[in-house]
Amino acid sequence: MSRTRNLGLFLVLAAVWGSAFMAINAGLAYFPPVLFAAFRFDIAGVVMLAYAAYAVEDPIPRGRDEWTTVAVGATLIIAAYHVFLFIGESDPAVTSAVAAVIVSLSPVLTTVFARAFLPSERLTAVGVVGLVVGLVGAVVLAAPDPNNLAAGGTVAKLLVLLAAASFALGSVLTRAADDDLPIETMEAWSMLVGALLTHVVSFALGESVADVTWSTEAVLALGYLAIVASGLGFLIYFDLLDRLGPIEINLVSYVAPAFAAVAGWLFLREAITPNTVAGFLIICVGFALVKRAALGDALRDYGLLD
């Protein structure tokens, strides 16, 4: 039952976060990128703080250790990740699918960081091969031009890669934190502090509310990102992070590109290229190698494997 629950939540998270790339691309037509990210977590932080006040006995972090965990989440998982991601996705060359696949490098980066901060989080040799295969798939899908690395959105793609690195490091450090901070409290305060940091960056970049074009599509994109992708998505993420560890949960980045490509195609008419399909299939092979034991157990549970 626990395995089925984790798998179900894993797929929900992949769908929610994969489609979030489409919502980001849609909203960037109406918002300055960093201000868009800040607004997202203004709303999400308030909603999650209200939920934390309802769900836990003490919705306020106590002591240095708990506030340190909040600071890590706010700085790396919320502020740095979304600032880099939103600026990167503001380049038309970075479609929903391409951004999702670059972020799918997160498991590779997580493994690197985990070796330094979480010695118990190790992969077997086959698992490492799986991560490398996933990296190859991401490169195939992103299709950088080796003859002109400054063109074709390469700088924007590098920013998205920095976003993935920030998220990977944040997830490892959060996992390594030795405290009993409830997930709801950690999420709410990380979002609120992260939103404040993002507003500071937005102001430094010269962005202004006057640059926002309010429309029905803008409100829908912001609402989806704040309530569904942030509120629900991060609640599931931190729950699974505690259950599975940073390497396994960040494999959600391998599945999200499929949902990002489909959502971008359905709502933004973004083309699904042969590179997109090939890259995703290669990533699936890498995912299967890393998760081969869990997949085998699941198939045996359902009588599909002896």
Residue-wise pLDDT tens for the chain (306 aa)?
577 788 788 889 989 988 888 888 889 999 999 999 999 999 999 999 999 999 888 899 988 889 999 999 999 999 999 999 999 988 887 877 677 777 877 877 887 787 777 766 666 777 778 777 877 776 676 565 555 445 567 788 889 889 999 999 998 888 777 667 888 899 999 999 999 999 999 999 999 999 999 999 999 999 999 999 998 998 898 888 878 777 677 777 777 777 877 787 887 777 777 877 887 788 778 777 776 776 676 666 656 566
pLDDT at residue 298, rounded to an integer: 61
> Angle CA(45)–CA(92)–CA(13) in degrees, nearest 5?
40
pLDDT at residue 122, rounded to an integer: 64
Both tokens of residue 159?
């920013």
The CB density around residue 204, as the number of other CB atoms within 10 Å, is: 9
pLDDT at residue 114, rounded to an integer: 79
Per-residue exposure over 64-97, b if at least 16 CB sit within 10 Å of its own CB, e if not: eebbebbbbbbbbbbbbbbbbbbbbbbbeebbbb
Query: Cα separation of 245 and 172, whole Å?
Result: 8
Both tokens of residue 224?
């989806």
CB distance 145 to 86 below 8 Å: no
Q: Nearest Cα to 101, choosing from 224, 167, 28, 18?
A: 18
pLDDT at residue 149, rounded to an integer: 46
The angle that helices 274-290 and 252-268 make with each other, rounded to 10 degrees, is: 160
